[in-house]
Amino acid sequence: MFDKNVALLSEPASGDAEKHVQILMVEDDYQDVQLLKALLSQQEYCLDAMTHAQSISEALDCLRSSGDSIELVILDLSLPDAQGLDAYHKICSSCSEVPIIIHSGNIDESIAIEAVQRGAQDYLVKGKFDGHLLGRTIRYALERHQQYLELQSEKLKLQAITAALQHSNQQLEVTNQALEQLATIDELTQIYNRRRFDEVLWAEWRRLAREDSPLSLIMCDVDHFKAYNDTYGHPAGDACLQQVAAAIANIVQRPADLVARYGGEEFAFILPNTDLKGATHIAKDIQAAVQRLNLPHLASSTGDQVTLSLGVASMIPHQDVSPVQLVEAADRALYTAKRLGRNQTQVSLPDLESAITEVRQASHKAKEFCQTLKHARSSLARSLEPAKQQRVPQLRW
Ligand SMILES: [Mg+2]
């Protein structure tokens, strides 16, 4: 049980000056209660707003039933059901948001310091303070606590802002990933575009150069596609490319494989860790997949349906060589397939590629030699110029 207004030793000075602070006094000593009330009254605190509890259990009941109206606790540390800082801990754990002033007969300074370190607003030793000091202690405790609450409020706002920013950043990241994905997808066929093809080709070239493993490339071209557009119209041409793309995209299943629209009616496959034999096998599957579509193409001189020409090339990448060589090799094979009648697969032979490289290198060296020879002739001509200027005496016999 707790009672109110147990004793009133002096009246407040005036109604206007009364300080209405909801104080819970936790004190089991009647004399101490009277003394505190007298001092508070002298400082014009309204005793009607004061509640008294004689034990920790009564104090906890009071705090629960007060509905957060208690603004300050003055706590004795020697109570029937708790002693020392245990009393403080029990009250504090129940109402951490209410400022607590310790009012104790214990003059042990270490206890006072520890109480303040644990969050008590102040430590008053019984009989060692007057009304003025008590009033000031209460005022400072309330002010500090108000500042603490404001800081807590700002901290919560800051946390909310931080959480909102993190959420925004996450959404931005998702949006960026979606945009990045969109930037690498061909709008018409919904397979990867040329930009993605170039990125992956260079990345795989560098990776497989380190692994000393083959990288294969298949270039495909829809045969007589201009004639298809001229015959069936561009919307039908677009639909044709979409169907071809969907059919050939299903051929490769490994995560590192990539199929892209290289440009116009041309498609390209990047096949890491695949040799020429494996790539040629895949090229046959691609060609067969398009044949199974059975798309009519009456304007084709190759057949009566849409067909593909394919060029296959394979190399073991080297860090000092550009992957453009692989693209050019596959392109040459594709050109050969077209030249030999289309609707077929041709491979770029490694021996042929080596020969082409050697011829290019020899051609380059020959050009350099010719240039050197030309400079030498010019130098010789300049050195002979003074001699030419001199008149040569005509010999007469
Ligand atoms: Mg006591």
Average pLDDT on 121-145 reads 93
What's the 27 CA to ligand 1 centre distance in angstroms? 6
- Whether residues 261 and 145 fall in one domain: no
What's the 106 CA to ligand 1 centre distance in angstroms? 10
Task: Report helix, strand or coil for 276.
Answer: helix
- Whether residues 346 and 202 fall in one domain: yes
Q: Are 252 and 282 in contact (CB under 8 A)?
A: yes
Q: Are 70 and 95 in contact (CB under 8 A)?
A: yes
What's the 57 CA to ligand 1 centre distance in angstroms? 14
Q: Give which of 319, 290, 60, 308 is closest to 208, Cα–Cα.
A: 319
What's the 93 CA to ligand 1 centre distance in angstroms? 20
What's the 165 CA to ligand 1 centre distance in angstroms? 51
- Whether residues 69 and 203 fall in one domain: no
What's the 144 CA to ligand 1 centre distance in angstroms? 26
CATH number at residue 133: 3.40.50.2300
Structure tokens at 42: 């002298």
Question: In the sheet that 215-222 helps form, which strands lie side by side, from edge to edge?
Answer: 258-263, 266-272, 215-222, 308-315, 345-347
Angle of helix 276-293 relative to helix 234-249, nearest 10 degrees? Answer: 130
CA distances to 1, 75, 279 from 54, rounded to whole Å, are 8, 10, 91
Beta pairing partners, 270: 217, 258
- Whether residues 124 and 223 fall in one domain: no
pLDDT at 383: 84
Q: Judge whether 163 lies within some domain.
A: no
Q: What share of the chain is helix, strand, coil (3-state, %, to 5)?
A: 55, 15, 30
What's the 72 CA to ligand 1 centre distance in angstroms? 18
What's the 88 CA to ligand 1 centre distance in angstroms? 13
pLDDT at 359: 72
pLDDT at 165: 96
- Whether residues 25 and 145 fall in one domain: yes
pLDDT (tens digit per residue) in 306-333? 999 999 999 999 988 899 999 999 999 9
What's the 56 CA to ligand 1 centre distance in angstroms? 11
Total of domains in the chain: 2
pLDDT at 10: 36
H helices then E strands: how many in the chain? 11, 12
pLDDT at 14: 40
- Residue 80: phi and psi, rounded to 5, are -60, -35
Angle of helix 324-339 relative to helix 194-211, nearest 10 degrees? Answer: 120
How many residues are given for the chain? 397
What's the 273 CA to ligand 1 centre distance in angstroms? 84
What's the 225 CA to ligand 1 centre distance in angstroms? 101
pLDDT at 287: 97
- Whether residues 209 and 288 fall in one domain: yes
Q: Judge whether 371 lies within some domain.
A: no
The predicted model scores a pTM of 0.54
Return the minimum-mean-pLDDT range out of 162-171, 240-249, 366-375.
366-375
- Whether residues 136 and 223 fall in one domain: no
Q: Judge whether 360 lies within some domain.
A: no
Q: Judge whether 368 lies within some domain.
A: no
* Confidence class for position 351, pLDDT limits 50, 70, 90: low
What's the 142 CA to ligand 1 centre distance in angstroms? 24
Within its chain, how far is the Cα of 111 from the centroid? 50
Q: Give which of 336, 364, 242, 369 is closest to 295, Cα–Cα.
A: 242
Mean of the per-residue pLDDT values for the chain?
89
What's the 288 CA to ligand 1 centre distance in angstroms? 97
Return the minimum-mean-pLDDT range out of 154-158, 176-180, 349-353.
349-353
What's the 34 CA to ligand 1 centre distance in angstroms? 13
Residue carrying the six token digits 């299943």: 253
Residue carrying the six token digits 């147990």: 6
Query: Residues 86, 90, 96, 99: is their CA dihedral positive or negative?
Result: negative
Cα distance between residue 23 and residue 226, in whole Å: 92
What's the 48 CA to ligand 1 centre distance in angstroms? 23
What's the 85 CA to ligand 1 centre distance in angstroms? 13
Average pLDDT on 249-258 reads 93
What's the 77 CA to ligand 1 centre distance in angstroms? 6
Beta pairing partners, 220: 267, 310
pLDDT at 49: 84
* Confidence class for position 394, pLDDT limits 50, 70, 90: low
Question: Quick count: other Cβ atoms within 10 Å of Cβ 260?
Answer: 26
- Whether residues 130 and 250 fall in one domain: no
Structure tokens at 380: 């010789």
pLDDT (tens digit per residue) in 71-125? 999 999 999 999 999 999 999 988 878 999 999 999 999 999 999 999 999 999 9
pLDDT at 357: 63
pLDDT at 397: 47
CATH number at residue 237: 3.30.70.270
Instruction: Check whether 389 has a pLDDT greater than 80.
Output: no
pLDDT (tens digit per residue) in 182-216? 899 999 999 999 999 999 999 999 999 999 999 99
User: Residue type for 32, please?
Assistant: D
* Confidence class for position 352, pLDDT limits 50, 70, 90: low
Residue carrying the six token digits 């001092």: 39
Average pLDDT on 258-282 reads 97
Residue carrying the six token digits 């309204």: 46
What's the 23 CA to ligand 1 centre distance in angstroms? 18
* Confidence class for position 295, pLDDT limits 50, 70, 90: very high
Beta pairing partners, 192: 185, 260
Q: Judge whether 109 lies within some domain.
A: yes
What's the 33 CA to ligand 1 centre distance in angstroms? 10
| Containing structural domain, residue 102 | 20-151
Question: In the sheet that 122-125 helps form, which strands lie side by side, from edge to edge?
Answer: 50-53, 23-26, 72-75, 100-104, 122-125
Q: Give which of 280, 275, 245 is closest to 260, Cα–Cα.
A: 245
Q: Give one DSSP letter per residue of 144-179, joined into a string.
A: HHHHHHHHHHHHHHHHHHHHHHHHHHHHHHHHHHHH
- Residue 240: phi and psi, rounded to 5, are -60, -45
- Whether residues 138 and 199 fall in one domain: no
CB-facing half-sphere around the CA of 58: CA atoms within 13 A: 18
- Whether residues 237 and 143 fall in one domain: no
What's the 79 CA to ligand 1 centre distance in angstroms? 5
